[in-house]
Amino acid sequence: MGVADYKETVLSVKASYKPIKKSILSREGEEVDLVCESGGYPEATFSWSDGNNKVLSSNDSHVQTPDQLFQVTSKITVRSSVKNNYTCSIGDGVPNSLLYRFIIPDEIPVIKSSSTSLYIALATTLLVAVIIAVVIIRNYRQRGRSINSSTACRHNLLGLAPT
């Protein structure tokens, strides 16, 4: 009888992670969410630190895509009024770790205040109201003059003394 010869091979597969996409989302008050996203294989996690290299905790989610890659999203919430740098990096076995830096408050997009829109709307409404009032007053005065002058003409035609 022949003896079977079995050999075992271990294959380790890695798919490079895509460049990190970053975004800043506004929240109520003075807070913003800083978000980092990337995808690749194997499953990895983000780590966050501030400008003083203090490690920060984050809210992470991992979703496996139909092509068996992992879509990793990580978010932290910070105060927009505090000047600081925040860095997200993806690690855990990912070769050549990727990182991205947020500079707060410099990178926060300027959001037009709704109060500015309110002031513009009020000013426009006031201007329209003033124009309408001027037109009404002008028409009233012209009508008053024409009534007085037509009454005077009738009195002259009839030979009556003006009243």
Phi, psi at 84, each rounded to 5°: -165, 165
Alpha-carbon torsion (38, 107, 77, 92), positive or negative = positive
pLDDT for 19: 86
In the chain, the amino acid numbered 38 is S
CA distance 88 to 36: 7
In the chain, the amino acid numbered 147 is I
* Number of neighbours of residue 72 by Cβ within 10 angstroms: 23
pLDDT for 158: 56
DSSP code at position 92: S
pLDDT tens-digit readout, 2-35 = 677 778 888 776 778 888 898 888 888 888 999 9
Q: What dihedral angle (degrees, nearest 10) is formed by the CA atoms of 110, 114, 117, 119?
A: -120
Q: Kindly give, in sequence order, each residue whose CB lies less than 8 Å from that of residue 5, ignoring residues fewer than 6 positions away.
A: none
pLDDT for 71: 94
**Of 1 and 17, more confident:** 17
Query: Where is average pLDDT lowest: 29-38, 47-56, 149-158?
Result: 149-158
Residue 17: which of 72, 67, 64 has the closest Cα?
A: 72
Residue 22: which of 132, 95, 83, 104 has the closest Cα?
A: 104
Say which residue the tokens 């010869």 belong to.
Answer: 5
Using a pLDDT cut of 70, give the percent of the chain over it.
77
pLDDT for 114: 59
CA distance 33 to 19: 19
| Arithmetic mean of pLDDT, 64-82 | 91
pLDDT tens-digit readout, 116-145 = 777 787 888 888 999 998 889 888 888 766
Tokens of residue 138, six digits: 């002008």
pTM: 0.57
